[in-house]
Structure 1
Amino acid sequence: MGAPDLLPDELRAHPLFDGLTEEQYEWLAETGRSRELADGEVVFAEGAPARFFVVLLDGELLISKVVDDRDEVLARHSTRDGAEERAMLAHTFTGELCVLAGDAYLATATSVGRSRVALYDRTTFLQMLVRAPRVSEMVVPVLALRAQDMIVSGGRRSTLASLGTLAAGIAHELNNPASAVIRAIGELDGAVEELEAAAETWGETASKAEREALGVARRDWMTRARGSGPGDALAMSLLEEELQDWLEDHGLDDGSSLSPLLAERGLDTSWLDTFAGLFDAARLPAALRYLSESLRIRSCVVDVRDAGTRVSAIVKNTKEYTNLDRAPESDVDVREGLESTLAMLRPKLAGITVVRDYARPLPRVPGYPTELNQVWTNLVDNAAGALGGRGELRVSVRGEGGCILVEVADNGPGIDPDVLPRVFEPFFTTKDIGAGTGLGLHLSHRIVTRRHRGSITVRSRPGDTRFQVRLPGRAASGAPLDGDAACRAVLDDHDVPEAVLNDHSVPQAV
């Protein structure tokens, strides 16, 4: 339960919670915890476990980070600034990314003067995004803008370049399971009451043999795979209509509640004929009603279980993508990073055919997995933008001497020959104003060449654009590879931004 002074009216006036229902305001007031802050009091400290999503109710918070042994002010969040609506919203909450990722706080939040905040723990914050989708709509755009500002103002911290993409990817991936949970919960609310009434009637009239027969039918339904019905939408619709007619002809008032549940499991009227033969005709309607409500609830439970499994998979992909469980520097399997990146960028790859070509076995790469994931994100994101929702993206990994060669290619329109020599320059972009910072490929080049002693090159012509990243490898045992000298020779041939091959290309956004 929340503190008694955290009231629905107070939350109703907050821009983050604008437009919610009364039930949602009550829930937010009950699950949140109010905290009064004195001047200079720390809400959370950099490096501490991210336990709370912080909503600023009144006052001002200073957000700072230690960079090169000194405190650097990242932002000031205040409820008193007379800025535009989006800016005001952005300065009324903090800590969302770290709580979402389950990581440590990236900065320190300190009260300036007396302030008051509402705290929501991680579990409650995740529930908030599900129970109040409107909050997700408010948080995600601000998070994306905030991430972009952090990239531009702190290019040195290159790992932050993909935060906007990460947040958008998580929000998009959470949308379907969250919607499924909300839908199932809404269905359960009425279904439980209906089941109680049906069970009471059925229990008063059914014989022991009939109760056992209904249990067998229910277990038969549960053991059949979901989606085992007709794959064709028209055939499925016809089967549902046939089942509905049968059910209503045999005394079930609303056959449409049970027919879809049977059809999706591949059950037809012959199955119902067998079922009906096990019951006295007078008690068949009660049996059908009880079966309908029972399967309806079990279907909702399956929906919630599947949604939970999907959320767990999203969390797993997020942890792998951000390497939350690994040391900053380690021996990296680049295929794992590529797969995590493709999973996080799945929404942007809708309509695009992704072709993988991973050679095995491959040596590991000594380096920084989060930074390499940022490189893969930039390359895959650029390729997806060039393809515009259709085409082929090819991701390959193979050995080349003592090197690992990672190639991200697409069959889009290609890169203009006048643009090609400049693609790795800082702040150079061919995207519309506001659509790109011009830092993605520049930061990727720095990460590959300076941090990992590798090279990154590009060649392009219409229908075939390839970014190639070469990294010195290491054997699984940790020993240097025998072919390391050969790898250095290859890198020497490619380790300059100008080493690009131009084949009469046409414009492509970078």
Structure 2
Amino acid sequence: MGTRLVCDPDELRTLFLFEKLDDEQLAWLCRDGRVEEFEPGLVYREGDPATCFYVLLDGEVVLTKRSGGEEIELVRTSHRGSYAGAWTAYMGDRGDQNYTGSFHVTQPSRFFVLDAGTFSRMMQEWFPMALHLLEGIFFGNRNANEIIGQRERLLALGSLSAGLTHELNNPAAAAVRATSSLRDRVAGMRHKLKMIAHGKFDPASLESLVQLQEEAATQVAKAPDLTPLEAADREDELGEWLSGHGIANGWDIAPTFVQAGFDIDWLEKVAATLEGAETSVFEGAIRWLNYTVETELLMNEITDSTARISKLVNAAKQYSQMDRAPFQVVDIHELLGSTLVMLARKIGDGITVVKEFDRTLPPVPCYAAELNQVWTNLIDNAVAAMDGHGTLTVRTYRENDCVAVEICDTGPGVPEDLRHRIFEPFFTTKPVGEGTGLGLDISFRIVANKHGGDIRVESVPGDTRFIVRLPLKNEAAQAVTDTDTGGE
């Protein structure tokens, strides 16, 4: 609270805000308002309830706003009639009624001051038409911006959802196919078991056969990775062995045994166990073991498919930060990983993804969902620059008191004369209709304004790097809001 002084209607008349008011209105202002003098220092702080409307009579004022934990100077003026404070009070609870910046004076300064309620009443009584016009412009612009913003977010979400649906469809379809095949194999196993049960097996041979079945099931999990050439050679060997032992269509069975990691030595064990058995009984036992192997392989396929589905769902949840607080402390690699999963289809098979993660990095305090938007924009730009072919490298490391994230591509690079413009709003190098020019601008504001970090670009043909630095100590970021500066 400053020192209260005498209010002079004639002085108010010299201000551009009040120059058209009549004597009665000026007297009303002096009666319901006041003149105060403030010493150098803070008049009001950003985020506090907006209780007063200030008009500068003489002196100098500075308006600041928090950004990345620092006070950024927006306006410095000694112009008489400059105003700030609760200028949106007339909108009541339909507008933000907190100060959207901090207000300082640099020398002894005088202000005409109206309480927020008085200012609101004055606007409603004196300027009803102007008030409606202001409200229409204010809410119309805000609604238009919200609609455009929502549409852009929905378009981005639609693109990601289409990719996610495609990614989910593949393992889901594989699981359905494997389940159907598994049902057939289990039915075949029951049939062959019935044949074996009526065969001429002594208890010891039957017990050995069951033991071989257990070994077969266990062996599937330990099957070696063979090259196509190695697999073909082994299939030929096993096919010849099966045909030589009277197994009809043994060439059809051989690939399954090879896939499970079996060789002729294992088949010889089976033959030794069933030595002396009729050919039909031996063939039934071989096919029973084949069904066992196929069943295990199909169950592994189902397990892999459902695990892939679960991974995709978890990645989508991590990417969207569903049910999580906006500001949190997270492992940056979880965010990068979920973004790569969500963009897998857009990245495509022609681009090799290399992850060089420093897993010793500490967690980062951040707005996780918004950082995912940054990674999406940078990776999307990198993929577009490579036109479907190249190497995308995502690298993390520590740089002083920051975590650094590099998104690197092997595209043609950003020309030197354009590098200073790439973070400008609406600037894009993409063809008309393919880019809004807002991706890097939004990314920069998220990193700089909300996290106190920075983005820089280093580029030569074949090696372009967007480097994001995020402070490891960033308590101030949690207090940053997205309020507008209004008419201050």
Query: Do the two structures share a fold, i.e. TM-score over 0.5?
Result: yes
SS of match in other structure, 2:273: coil
Answering whether residue 236 of structure 2 is matched by residue 241 of structure 1, we say yes
Q: Conserved in 1, the CA contact under 8 Å of 2:374 and 2:446?
A: yes
SS of match in other structure, 1:314: helix
Tell me by how many angstroms 1:414 deviates: 0.3
What do the CA deviations read for 1:431-465 (whole angstroms, capped 9, x no partner)?
34554343322221222233223322223221221
Tell me by how many angstroms 1:237 deviates: 1.5
Given the superposition, is the C-alpha separation of residues 434 and 261 from structure 1 closer, same or farther in structure 2, using an over 3 Å criterion?
Answer: farther
Tell me by how many angstroms 1:422 deviates: 3.1
The 1-side partners of 2:227 and 2:145 are apart by 48
User: Which letter maps to 1:264?
Assistant: Q
SS of match in other structure, 2:226: coil
Tell me by how many angstroms 1:227 deviates: 7.3
Partner residue of 1:297? 295
Structure 2 counterparts to residues 203-352 of structure 1, below 5 A: 203-205=197-199, 206-226=201-221, 228-229=223-224, 231-279=226-274, 280-282=276-278, 283-347=281-345, 348=347, 350-352=349-351
The 2-side partners of 1:291 and 1:404 are apart by 55
Partner residue of 1:376? 375
Given the superposition, is the C-alpha separation of residues 433 and 401 from structure 1 closer, same or farther in structure 2, using an over 3 Å criterion?
Answer: same
The 2-side partners of 1:436 and 1:226 are apart by 48
The 2-side partners of 1:297 and 1:182 are apart by 14
TM-score (norm 1): 0.58
SS of match in other structure, 1:404: strand
Among 196, 199, 212, the residue aligned to 2:193:
199
Tell me by how many angstroms 1:371 deviates: 0.6
The 2-side partners of 1:356 and 1:302 are apart by 27
Structure 2 counterparts to residues 66-85 of structure 1, below 5 A: none
Tell me by how many angstroms 1:386 deviates: 1.7
Q: Conserved in 2, the CA contact under 8 Å of 1:198 and 1:293?
A: no
The 2-side partners of 1:293 and 1:356 are apart by 40
What do the CA deviations read for 1:260-299 (whole angstroms, capped 9, x no partner)?
2210122112211121111133021221122223332332
Partner residue of 1:457? 456
User: Which letter maps to 1:415?
Assistant: V
User: Which letter maps to 2:206?
Assistant: R
What do the CA deviations read for 1:360-403 (whole angstroms, capped 9, x no partner)?
65454333101101101111121122223443333233333433
Q: Extract unaligned runs of 5+ from structure 1.
A: 1-67, 71-149, 481-510
What do the CA deviations read for 1:136-170 (whole angstroms, capped 9, x no partner)?
xxxxxxxxxxxxxx999442698657424532442
Q: Conserved in 1, the CA contact under 8 Å of 2:220 and 2:297?
A: no
Given the superposition, is the C-alpha separation of residues 431 and 208 from structure 1 closer, same or farther in structure 2, using an over 3 Å criterion?
Answer: farther
User: Which letter maps to 2:448?
Assistant: T
User: Which letter maps to 2:367?
Assistant: Y
Given the superposition, is the C-alpha separation of residues 302 and 211 from structure 1 closer, same or farther in structure 2, using an over 3 Å criterion?
Answer: farther
The 1-side partners of 2:350 and 2:221 are apart by 25
Tell me by how many angstroms 1:251 deviates: 3.4
User: Which letter maps to 1:281?
Assistant: A
User: Which letter maps to 2:312?
Assistant: I
Structure 2 counterparts to residues 94-113 of structure 1, below 5 A: none
Structure 1 segments, 4+ long, off by >6 Å, are 156-159
* RMSD after superposition: 3.2
Tell me by how many angstroms 1:355 deviates: 3.8
Given the superposition, is the C-alpha separation of residues 157 and 361 from structure 1 closer, same or farther in structure 2, using an over 3 Å criterion?
Answer: farther
Given the superposition, is the C-alpha separation of residues 440 and 161 from structure 1 closer, same or farther in structure 2, using an over 3 Å criterion?
Answer: farther
Tell me by how many angstroms 1:413 deviates: 0.9
What do the CA deviations read for 1:148-207 (whole angstroms, capped 9, x no partner)?
xx9994426986574245324423432432232132133234334333322221111133
Given the superposition, is the C-alpha separation of residues 162 and 200 from structure 1 closer, same or farther in structure 2, using an over 3 Å criterion?
Answer: same
Q: Extract unaligned runs of 5+ from structure 2.
A: 1-92, 96-143, 478-488
Q: Number of paired residues?
A: 332
Partner residue of 2:67? none
What do the CA deviations read for 1:16-36 (whole angstroms, capped 9, x no partner)?
xxxxxxxxxxxxxxxxxxxxx
Asked which structure has the greater CA Rg, the reply is: 2
The 2-side partners of 1:160 and 1:451 are apart by 23
The 1-side partners of 2:94 and 2:430 are apart by 36
The 2-side partners of 1:245 and 1:325 are apart by 59
The 2-side partners of 1:287 and 1:198 are apart by 7
Q: Which moved more, 1:392-401 or 1:276-285?
A: 392-401
Tell me by how many angstroms 1:233 deviates: 0.5
Q: Which has the higher contact order (CA 8 A, sep 6+)?
A: 2
User: Which letter maps to 2:283?
Assistant: P
Given the superposition, is the C-alpha separation of residues 152 and 262 from structure 1 closer, same or farther in structure 2, using an over 3 Å criterion?
Answer: farther
The 2-side partners of 1:263 and 1:467 are apart by 47
Q: Conserved in 1, the CA contact under 8 Å of 2:390 and 2:410?
A: yes
Q: Which moved more, 1:354-363 or 1:370-379?
A: 354-363
Among 174, 185, 196, the residue aligned to 1:180:
174
Partner residue of 2:441? 442
The 1-side partners of 2:260 and 2:359 are apart by 40
Partner residue of 2:51? none
What do the CA deviations read for 1:291-330 (whole angstroms, capped 9, x no partner)?
2233323322222122112222222222222222421111
User: Which letter maps to 2:227?
Assistant: D
Given the superposition, is the C-alpha separation of residues 474 and 333 from structure 1 closer, same or farther in structure 2, using an over 3 Å criterion?
Answer: farther
The 1-side partners of 2:358 and 2:265 are apart by 51
The 2-side partners of 1:258 and 1:269 are apart by 13
Given the superposition, is the C-alpha separation of residues 431 and 443 from structure 1 closer, same or farther in structure 2, using an over 3 Å criterion?
Answer: same
User: Which letter maps to 1:318?
Assistant: A
